[in-house]
């Protein structure tokens, strides 16, 4: 990984989703701008806020997909991340483990 790039693996594949009430939402359904969670796989040497194994929130429309050894990953700049969720961020009692 170079510079400020972050390589992530998305949590869920594109396609049907289920609402919290159990309703199946087809992949063709029009939805507003929806952010997605993913796990960080690798980071460039200039990345300061995330580490491998962190979970990050990002906009899937502002990314590039790449396939490595048959596995699909998403490549983006660190500045395109909206939030970071990590166990290492839960240092104090008032911390949620979420870095916005």
Domain ranges of the chain: 5-99
For 46-70, the pLDDT digits (tens) are 998 899 999 999 988 878 888 888 8
- pTM given for the model: 0.70
For 9-39, the pLDDT digits (tens) are 986 655 566 667 777 767 666 566 678 889 9
Instruction: With a cut of 80, say whether residue 88 has pLDDT above it.
Output: no
Sorted by sequence, the CB contacts under 8 Å of residue 95 that are 6+ apart come out as 89
Domain 5-99 architecture: Roll (2.30)
């Amino acid at each position: 990984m170079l510079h400020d790039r972050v390589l992530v693996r998305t949590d869920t594949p594109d396609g049907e989703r289920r609402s919290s009430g159990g309703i199946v939402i087809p992949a063709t359904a029009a939805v507003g701008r929806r952010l997605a969670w993913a796990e960080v796989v690798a980071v460039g040497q200039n990345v300061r806020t995330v580490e491998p194994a962190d979970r990050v929130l990002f906009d899937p429309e502002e990314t590039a997909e790449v396939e490595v050894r048959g596995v699909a990953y998403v490549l983006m700049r660190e500045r395109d991340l909206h939030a970071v969720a990590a166990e290492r961020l839960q240092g104090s009692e008032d911390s949620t483990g979420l870095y916005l």
